Amino acid sequence: MTTQPKPTIPSEPKAERVDLNASDWYLNRELTWLEFNKRVLWEAEDERTPLLERVKFIAIVSSNLDEFFMKRIGGLKQQVGAGISELSVDGRTPQQQITECYAVVRELEAKKQELLTQLIELLNKENIRFLPFVELAKDQQQAMREHYIQNIFPLITPQAIDPAHPFPFISNLSLNLLVGVSGLESSNMTLVRIKVPVSSSVPRFIQVGNEHLFIGLADLITNNLDLLFPGMRIVFCDQFRVTRNAMTEQDEEQADDLLQMIESELRERKFAPVIRLEISSTMAKLQSGMLAAELGLNEEQDVFVVEQRLAMNDLFQIASISRPDLFDPPHHPVDHPKLAGVPNIFHAIREQGSILLQHPYESFVTTVERFVKEASRDPNVQAIKMTLYRTSAGTKIVQYLIDAALNGKQVAVVVELKARFDESANIKWAHRMESAGIHVTYGVVGLKTHSKVIYVVRQDYNGLRRYAHIGTGNYHAGTARLYTDLGILTCDQKIGEELTELFNYLTTGLVPKRNYQNLLIAPNKLKSKLLEKIDREITKHTETLPGLIQFKMNALEDVDITAALYKAAQAGVKIDLIIRDTCRLRPGIACVSENVRVISIVGRFLEHSRIYYFQNGGEEEYFIGSADCMKRNLESRVEVVTPVQKPELQTVLRQILTVQLTNQRSVWEMQADGHYIQLRPKDKQLGVQETFIKLANKRLDEAKASKSHKKEKKKSGANRNTD
């Protein structure tokens, strides 16, 4: 296992002698993110994971690595190309980071190939089979050839590579064939590139007959090349795939039209430099060298040989086969006990106070979507404002916003056009909303709007009242079933007043003095407030009441926050960090971070919620919101983190933290050198996420029982009065 080097620890170290500016104390962002993918890949290796879920985890890691190359390696290569040799906080040059990342990626790829071999054998036993075309029965081959002629052959466009035909453009992440063809009696060979036309209508794996028997699309094309090259000899046919740099951001301060700039950026990304070439193991050195040279790559470094199957993210297709017995038990989000059976969501919020939502255990549809739906139809609602970072076609929120505008309500939406890989979709959503009369803006120049906020102004019986949803996750129906997130529905007056200030800022970009006393807003004050609260925990720490900080988030990357946590740990403050992926801090080092514990949770859902807890000398503080402790979140994005002050809701957050920190079933614990050890329960124990499924169902059952009891009691009292 590749690990990061351990820091040099002085003999008998003392806190005051530790130089927290030294690179030894900080782990590398890229390597710790790759370490996270090892933990995800373990889910594919774990025999306790249902078979098709294991296939899904291989697809997830493959998709993650594609994005890693496009974003992270792409950015590092740009730095190398610009001659930047400045060291990262962990003491590495851009080229050193690329080299070390490549070593870990090759390790991950080898493990993926090994696991796929094992899983294919297990799938065979379940009558889900992959066969090469040549191993099909004759009648099956004929049926597949006819299918190819009718449904695929018209889509094939062979492109010769010779002096008369320049090297063709290779699209990002496309699967391709490199074919050598010659005349039957000629030794002259021509190279031809064929793009394998995988699309929503042409799947990567073609089903043979009515059973779960599949052949690869590339294999089908390869074995019917005589249709493309009649009367010619096929010398070889190998697969390859390229990855292009996605880091093509332009300077929006120089852009007259942000929408046009993003559309231009998307066009540029299509033609961005290639940063990785993947080839099948059958490809000869001569051909791989030619491809690398044409694509401007270093053959020794940037070419990745794949033993079995390229583009394993396409295994999502197999992972969606209808075999319920090979998946986790189906999960059905429950209604929130505070909202179930309540006819008006605004009355429920006003009468019961703030309501904490826990997705996907509690339904997104019957909470967040319902909130917007009722707002769009309620005649007392005057205005709806929201931020939109990512959404999906399956989410009804956009339609409800359009309905609200058509119903004469003021609707304003801040759409983030620069949400990576969702830019095109967000442009379409923006156009659709604008055409319905919604006020669409694109946030503040120089900042991404990453906050998750819906803000509703309603004419209540006693005047205007502000209602809001503040969350940790996107307004996306698909991810709401797959990601663990938190949200709060509230009509707190102070929060509402500050959200008014926030939307005035987002829709104008003007920065007069904005009075945020409760919300922690980035980049205005979130980072400074977190640092202030960490420092306060040190000052309030005593032997009788030790300080305690607990953070749950996706990543801890910001150096200033990491250094502050080190200082708090040296002062004796206990620190629990539940970090999904990237974590710069090294836990468990004597006299430096021995009071720090870092864990990571991996399961059927992607951990995505953010919780910030400070013991504060007994006056406990809880916060939830959209921000991770990453430099980009704290300094370059508009983020909203809200306090959770209602004792009942604090109890739920305490339960969430306690379950995650005490579980042994689905938890990995970080070591000082950056690698993780999976904890092992001594006896049968539900995993973290299975525990939350059970707790959500229990809360709803108890609420129903309580309502039923009150109803019976009321009925009994009425009967006694009648008697």
Cis? peptide before 523, omega within 30° of 0: yes
Alpha-carbon gap, residue 203 to 317, rounded angstroms: 8
pLDDT for position 255? 46
Choice between 474 and 717, residue whose per-residue pLDDT is larger = 474
- Sheet with 213-216: strands ordered across: 129-130, 213-216, 205-207
User: Residue range 277-287: average pLDDT?
Assistant: 96
pLDDT of residue 460 exceeding 50, the answer is yes
SS3 assignment, position 190: strand
- Please count the other Cβ atoms lying within 10 Å of the Cβ belonging to residue 359: 26
pLDDT for position 323? 95
pLDDT of residue 155 exceeding 80, the answer is yes
Q: How confident is the model at residue 258 (pLDDT cuts 50, 70, 90)?
A: low
Q: What is the pLDDT of residues 436-456, one digit of tens each?
A: 999 999 888 889 999 999 999
For 533-576, give the DSSP string.
HHHHHHHT--SSS--EEEEEES-B--HHHHHHHHHHHHTT-EEE
Alpha-carbon gap, residue 216 to 202, rounded angstroms: 11
Residues 6+ apart with CB under 8 A from 181: 189, 190, 192, 225, 229, 232, 233, 234, 235
User: Residue range 87-99: average pLDDT?
Assistant: 95
Q: What percent of the chain has pLDDT over 70?
A: 93
398 contacts 386 by C-beta, under 8 angstroms = no
pLDDT of residue 328 exceeding 80, the answer is yes
Q: How would you class 80 by CB atoms within 10 Å of its CB: exposed for 0-12, middle for 13-18, buried for 19 or more?
A: middle
Q: Which two structure tokens, joined as six digits, stand for 673?
A: 């050198």
Question: Among 360-374, 389-403, 478-492, where is mean pLDDT lowest?
Answer: 389-403
424 HSE (CA, 13 A, CB side) = 5
pLDDT for position 712? 76
pLDDT for position 549? 98
User: Residue range 255-269: average pLDDT?
Assistant: 59
Q: What is the pLDDT of residues 376-425, one digit of tens each?
A: 999 999 999 999 988 888 889 999 999 999 999 999 999 987 766 667 78
pLDDT of residue 175 exceeding 90, the answer is yes
Minimal CA–CA distance to 289: which of 271, 303, 276?
303
Location of structure tokens 């000869």: 284
Q: Which residues pair with residue 195 across a beta bridge?
A: 176
pLDDT of residue 10 exceeding 50, the answer is no
pLDDT for position 177? 97
Minimal CA–CA distance to 593: which of 577, 615, 609?
577
Q: How confident is the model at residue 308 (pLDDT cuts 50, 70, 90)?
A: confident
pLDDT of residue 156 exceeding 90, the answer is yes
pLDDT of residue 576 exceeding 50, the answer is yes
- Please count the other Cβ atoms lying within 10 Å of the Cβ belonging to residue 188: 8
123 HSE (CA, 13 A, CB side) = 25
594 contacts 471 by C-beta, under 8 angstroms = no
Q: Mean pLDDT in the chain?
A: 91
Backbone angles phi and psi of 690, in degrees to 5: -65, -35
Alpha-carbon gap, residue 44 to 7, rounded angstroms: 32
**Residues annotated catalytic, as ranges:** 450
Choice between 419 and 25, residue whose per-residue pLDDT is larger = 25
In angstroms and rounded to an integer, the radius of gyration of the C-alpha atoms of the chain is 28
667 contacts 601 by C-beta, under 8 angstroms = yes
Q: Catalogue the E-assigned strands of 447-558.
A: 448-449, 453-460, 463-471, 483-490, 520-522, 548-553
pLDDT of residue 264 exceeding 70, the answer is no
- Sheet with 303-306: strands ordered across: 159-161, 189-195, 175-183, 232-244, 274-280, 303-306
Alpha-carbon gap, residue 622 to 340, rounded angstroms: 26
Q: How confident is the model at residue 77 (pLDDT cuts 50, 70, 90)?
A: very high
- Please count the other Cβ atoms lying within 10 Å of the Cβ belonging to residue 322: 8
528 contacts 558 by C-beta, under 8 angstroms = no
Question: Among 56-60, 318-322, 420-424, 613-617, where is mean pLDDT lowest?
Answer: 420-424
Q: What is the pLDDT of residues 644-662, one digit of tens each?
A: 999 999 999 999 999 999 9
The alpha carbon of residue 409 and the mean position of all alpha carbons in its chain are separated, in whole angstroms, by 33
684 contacts 702 by C-beta, under 8 angstroms = no
pLDDT for position 267? 65
For 212-277, give the DSSP string.
SEEEEHHHHHHTTGGGTSTTEEEEEEEEEEEEE-------GGG-S-HHHHHHHHHHHHHTPPEEEE
SS3 assignment, position 629: strand
- Please count the other Cβ atoms lying within 10 Å of the Cβ belonging to residue 3: 14
pLDDT for position 1? 44
Q: For the CA atoms of 608, 614, 615, 617, what is the dihedral angle to 10 degrees?
A: -170
- pTM value is 0.92
Backbone angles phi and psi of 683, in degrees to 5: -140, -175
Q: How confident is the model at residue 261 (pLDDT cuts 50, 70, 90)?
A: low
